[in-house]
Structure 1
Amino acid sequence: MRPRKNNRHLPPCVYEKHGAFWYVKKGKWTRLGNDLHAALVEYARLSAAQGSGMPALIDRAWPEITRDLKPSTVKQYRYAADELKRVLVEFEPGQVTPRVVAEIRQHYAATPNMANRIISFLRNVMHYAVENQIIEANPCVGVRRLKEKRRDRYLTDAEYRAIRAAGSDNLRPIIDICYLTGQRINDILGIRLADITDEGIRFTQQKTGARLLIEMTDDLRAAINEAKALRRSVRGLTLFCTMRGGRRYSYATVRDMWHTACQRAGVDDAHLHDLRAKAITDAKNQGLDPQALSGHTTEAMTNRYIRARDTVRAKPPSIRQLSN
């Protein structure tokens, strides 16, 4: 991934002399260090400080790229930005070619979802560079996405009961409300007490912005009452909150509780997000409206979501006619 013809182990403007590495710019020699790794780290710091190089470009483009994005997408892009600043530490924007982009994609091919996020973020960075006349063309154009494997895990009723039974008092109502509403975990943790009425629970989905009302049922009311019965701070505004300070539960906290319950129950490869998949799939099998429950904008999107987890049932032919 280094475009130099000679000394390919060194980034641009870096030379090895008298047992040390030096950064040479406009006739000025700046000592980076004796060790190559330490020299590269110092080189990245100098490049960013001088406002040049890919790390600096990524930092400049960051506010523009993330301005209107959802928090979950910003989190993914933060990881992508850190990875690219590390991988492209010795590159100037004009040295990032389609071949370099393809090599980055291949480097992360073992995790195709993350590889696509990294290339997507890099495409936005280079688009910013084109708009600001830093480079002539976006090198990410024409580099195809990797095929992402769709998760097809379906949580059975027995597994659901086992995990719920093994869960803590704080986790059980979260599991039930995740399933009964079919919403994403971050939307569940964001339920405010003011969102709960006799009609049901009102949601504004964090990911899509969709607004929906999940109608109140006896099961949902029982789960809400169980959550309200937990010890909580009087200052808490959300249904699920910490005892101290009344802050909403973090995703990491609930994820750890879920993993502990799964281990105790002996259920492998179960994610918190599988509760949403189970809810939407079960709603369809029970003759309900899975698209309304999921908040998807199209029926096709809901059908693809269900098809990956649903089981096709087929009735076998009779063998009696063969014995006549």
Structure 2
Amino acid sequence: MAPRPRKKRNSGLPPNLYANGRAFKYRRPDNGTWHGMGTDKAKAIAAASQLNGLLMAGGDLVADVMGDSMSLNAFLDYYEAEVLPPRELARATLDLYAVRFRQIRAALGERDIGQITIGMVAAFLDSLTPRASNQARAILVDVFNHAAAKGLVADNPAEATIPRPEKKARRRHTVAGVQAIYAVAEPWLQNAIDLALLTAQRREDILAMRFDDIRDGALHVAQHKTRRASDAGWIRLPMTPQLKALVARCRDDVPSPFLVHRKPERRVASGRHWTQVDNRYLTRAFKAARDAANPYPHWSPEQQPGFHELRALSLHLYKKAGKDGQKLAGHSTRKMTKNYEADHEEVVWTEAVADLDLSKITG
């Protein structure tokens, strides 16, 4: 990666001196703080050169060889293009990354990556909510680790910051609350709710379930989030009477390969099957049904649980019924060898029984 050249308005200026409209500003290379240098260009250059001599041991020689260092924006371009794609992150995760990248770029993107200090990162993180701050911090820690591996930074300023405590706003679903939502939900959404409660799977894994995943007397679920990190992510669900009845309810007059599907008002070319429901549509549809049912009238908007919280209710109900939900959830108690890669033909499936009695919940 070639170092990013200085902007035209800063050409001819010594390192760390920048044009700021008609005035000039100097950034201390040791701590990243900014200082006004007035409007007299000659005096600003002289002062910056003197400061560089005091604050940058050999700095001018390095600048002559390397040029202006890479900006965080430029390195983020590399990170998004080269680092993230091999991780095969879920679409929802990539959408979250995009939001945090925009915030990071707006606050720190124009700065030289090697000159970003702990204080700069801390100030940016303090401007966000605790949850957003911790998400952005985790991303920055990884970004600076990769920058260090490229020799662009000496240390990781994000890693030196402290994660902020998060108080989870969303509350848990109650059985009565889900019953009220279920009563006003469309049939396809009722199927999604039943699958969430019965199988304890995540939203994206429920929406990916296909009828041809049912073979050898079981529904096979390859969890997107955990299948590459743990053997627990490959789950075989025997076709219990409860699961058979639910799959039968999923079959209707809409020709679809997916258990959860709907007939859209109009077909849109999207590269997906025309009946497939995406994550965001399911989230919005569930929220609309929840708002229509209003099962939690005394909870604030931030406390209203969404589709994701059905998983927590499912695991709670399995535990209450004296059953072990760990295998269903795809959680492993220890790090296990990855059992699937692109050229690995054999997959070891973890058998888990989905046998929660839905008749007492959604009928």
With normalisation by structure 1, the TM-score equals: 0.71
Shift of 1:12: 6.4
Question: Which residue of structure 2 aligns with residue 226 of structure 1?
Answer: 249
Indicate yes or no: 2:218 matched with 1:200.
Answer: yes
Deviations 1:82-106 (A, max 9, x none): 2111111331112210111111221
The answer to whether the aligner puts 1:294 opposite 2:320 as a matched pair is: no
- SS of the equivalent of 2:21 reads strand
Contact 1:154–1:274, Cα closer than 8 Å, also in 2: yes
Q: Deviations over 1:212-252 (max 9, x none)?
A: 122323332222222211x42x4x33222353453521111
Secondary structure of 2:285 counterpart: helix
Of 132, 137, 161, the match for 1:119:
137
Give the drift of 1:14: 3.1
Structure 1 distance, partners of 2:69, 2:185, is 51
TM-score normalised according to structure 2 size: 0.64
Amino acid at match of 1:63: A
Query: CA separation in 2, counterparts of 1:151 and 1:283?
Result: 24
178-187 or 88-97, which deviates more: 88-97
Q: Give the count of matched residue pairs.
A: 254
Q: Is 2:317 the partner of 1:282?
A: yes
User: Is the aligned partner of 1:252 residue 2:280?
Assistant: yes
2: CA distance between counterparts of 1:176 and 1:88?
45
Distance 1:102 1:119 in 2: 9
- Contact 2:181 2:290 (8 Å CA) reproduced: yes
1:215 and 2:233 equivalent?
no
Deviation at 1:266, TM superposition (A): 1.0
Aligned partners of 1:98 and 1:80: how far apart in 2? Answer: 18
2: CA distance, partners of 1:198 / 1:262? 37
Q: Measure, in 1, the Cα distance between the counterparts of 2:261 and 2:285.
A: 14
Among candidates 291, 313, 317, match of residue 263 of structure 1: 291
Aligned residue number for residue 160 of structure 2: 142
Residue of structure 2 in register with 1:53 after alignment:
71
The aligned counterpart of 2:62 is none
| Counterpart position of 1:21 | none
Show the counterpart of 1:16.
Answer: 21
Q: RMSD in angstroms over aligned alpha carbons? A: 2.5
Question: Residues 1-40 of structure 1 correspond to what in structure 2 (within 5 A)?
Answer: 13-17=18-22
Report the Cα offset of residue 295 of structure 1.
Answer: 1.3
Runs of 4+ in 1 over 6 A off after TM superposition: none
Amino acid at match of 1:162: A
Distance 1:237 1:208 in 2: 24
Pair 1:199–1:113, CA change in 2 (3 A): farther
Q: Which residue of 2 aligns with 1:239?
A: 259
Q: Does residue 95 in structure 1 map to residue 115 in structure 2?
A: yes
Distance 2:215 2:277 in 1: 21
Match for residue 25 of structure 1? none
Unmatched 5+ stretches in structure 1? 1-10, 19-49, 300-324
User: CA 1:154/1:61 → structure 2, altered by over 3 Å: closer, same or farther?
Assistant: closer
Kindly provide the CA deviation profile for residues 91-145 of structure 1, in whole angstroms up to 9, marking residues without a partner as x: 111221011111122111x2x2221111111122222222222222221232121
Is it true that 1:185 corresponds to 2:203 in the alignment? yes
| RCO comparison, higher one (Cα < 8 Å, 6+) | 2
Aligned-partner residue type, residue 307 of structure 2: L
Flag the 1:216–1:51 CA change in 2: closer, same or farther, 3 A: farther
Whole-Å separation in 2 of the counterparts to 1:89 and 1:211: 40
- Per-residue deviation at 1:211? 0.6
Residue 202 of structure 1: how far off its partner (Å): 1.1
Determine whether 1:166 maps to 2:189: no
CA distance in 2, matches of 1:83, 1:51: 22
Q: Aligned partner of 2:212: which letter?
A: A
Question: Structure 2 stretches of 5 or more lacking a match?
Answer: 1-15, 24-67, 228-232, 268-272, 297-303, 335-363
SS of aligned partner of 2:146: helix
Instruction: Label 1:51 to 1:237 Cα distance change in 2 as closer, same or farther (>3 A).
Output: farther
2:146 alignment counterpart: 128
Aligned residue in 1 for 2:8: none
Q: Residues 12 and 271 (structure 1 numbering): CA distance in 2 closer, same or farther, change over 3 Å?
A: farther
Distance 1:99 1:69, change over 3 A: farther
The question of 1:272 aligning with 2:295 is answered no
CA 1:287/1:180 → structure 2, altered by over 3 Å: closer, same or farther? same
CA distance 1:198–1:101, shift in 2 (3 Å): same
- Aligned with 1:13: secondary structure? strand
Matches of 2:107 and 2:170, distance apart in 1: 33
Structure 2 vs 1, CA of residues 144 and 253 (structure 1 numbering), >3 Å: closer, same or farther? same
